[in-house]
């Protein structure tokens, strides 16, 4: 610029050159950025294509860790199973009292021929189930009550269970001593309900006695039902309340009806009971299943051409009961 304030031609040319150079630089920078963006876009497209060309990998199913998946369920199942069954691990397992009334006083009650067969069968079976069997024979009513009290007062702390088998004449709700006097069934079970050392342990009663004087009549059945006992000689042989917990009471017959005993072969009920115990216990079957088969087998027989007998089981068990059985060589 000269002194008069005018811009010289040289200055104008220099300024124009600078402007052109700045425009060129801006244009180059713009071109460079476009090139970078284009390259980035191309790289992304190539990467996507290369990924899509790769085959998809098959996902393998997850393998369970056997140490974990097997351990915890088994442990939980074992605890549950243990809580469902009564413990029967003690040896001896418990006492088994057999009251066997054969010789009755007075003319009104006949001697119970065949009862010794039942006593022998019960002794064999319960000894094989690790019970300590004791037999008391021909007891009057007061003697029956005394022996029950004696066994209830024994030390059962190291035992698992108690069994009582009563073979006698009976009436509704009671069994008879050889003197003909009644002993109510609840008076036989009550002392064991009060026995603290048998608390939460199974207490089993099996009663072979009538519960009344009526005879159950047979009914018509489909062809194929055969009687294998109708030609044998039978005699009449009783209401049993299962009070409190952990009792099982197997009765030879339902209330008001007679039960039958063969004069040589023993009673239908006790013989079938022993048979099914010897079959079911080695298989680890529970008592409910075994006694259901006893009911079915006894009730299917026809006695003296027209009579029937229907056993009954009453129980207040709180767990499954599986009785042990010695393995006998065949």
Catalytic amino acids? 169, 210
Bridge partners of residue 41, in order along the sequence: none
Rounded Cα distance between 137 and 139, Å, is 6
Spatial neighbors of 9 by CB under 8 A, at least 6 apart, are none
Tell me the C-alpha to C-alpha distance, in Å, between residue 52 and each of 46, 59, 300.
10, 17, 77
Spatial neighbors of 140 by CB under 8 A, at least 6 apart, are 177, 178, 179, 181
Find where tokens 């009104």 sit. 108
Spatial neighbors of 173 by CB under 8 A, at least 6 apart, are 184, 185, 186, 211, 238, 239, 240, 241
């Amino acid at each position: 610029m000269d002194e008069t304030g005018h811009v010289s031609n040289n200055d104008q040319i220099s300024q124009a050159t600078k402007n052109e150079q700045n425009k060129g630089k801006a244009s180059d920078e713009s071109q460079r950025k476009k090139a970078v963006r284009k390259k980035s876009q191309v790289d992304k497209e190539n990467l996507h294509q290369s990924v899509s060309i790769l085959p998809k990998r098959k996902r393998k199913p997850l393998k369970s860790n056997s140490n974990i998946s097997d351990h915890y369920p088994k442990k939980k199942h074992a605890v549950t199973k243990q809580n469902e069954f009564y413990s029967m691990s003690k040896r001896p397992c418990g006492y088994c009292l057999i009251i066997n009334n054969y010789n009755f006083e007075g003319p009104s009650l006949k001697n119970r021929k065949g009862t010794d067969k039942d006593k022998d069968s019960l002794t064999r079976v319960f000894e094989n189930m690790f019970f300590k069997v004791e037999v008391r024979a021909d007891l009057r009513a007061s003697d029956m009550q005394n022996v029950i009290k004696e066994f209830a007062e024994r030390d059962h702390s190291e035992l698992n269970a108690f069994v009582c088998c009563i073979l006698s004449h009976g009436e509704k709700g009671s069994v008879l001593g050889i003197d003909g006097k009644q002993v109510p069934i609840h008076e036989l079970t009550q002392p064991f309900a009060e026995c603290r050392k048998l608390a939460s342990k199974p207490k089993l009663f099996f009663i072979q006695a009538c519960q009344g004087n009526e005879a159950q009549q047979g009914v018509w059945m489909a062809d194929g039902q055969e009687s294998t006992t109708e030609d044998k000689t039978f005699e009449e042989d009783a209401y049993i309340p299962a009070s409190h917990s952990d009792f099982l009471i197997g009765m030879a017959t339902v209330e008001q009806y007679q039960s039958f005993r063969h004069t040589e072969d023993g009673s239908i009920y006790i013989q079938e009971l022993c048979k099914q115990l010897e079959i079911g216990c080695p298989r680890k079957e529970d008592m409910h299943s075994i006694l259901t088969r006893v009911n079915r087998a006894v009730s299917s027989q026809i006695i003296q051409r027209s009579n029937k007998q229907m056993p009954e089981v009453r129980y207040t068990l709180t767990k499954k009961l599986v009785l042990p059985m010695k393995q006998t060589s065949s």
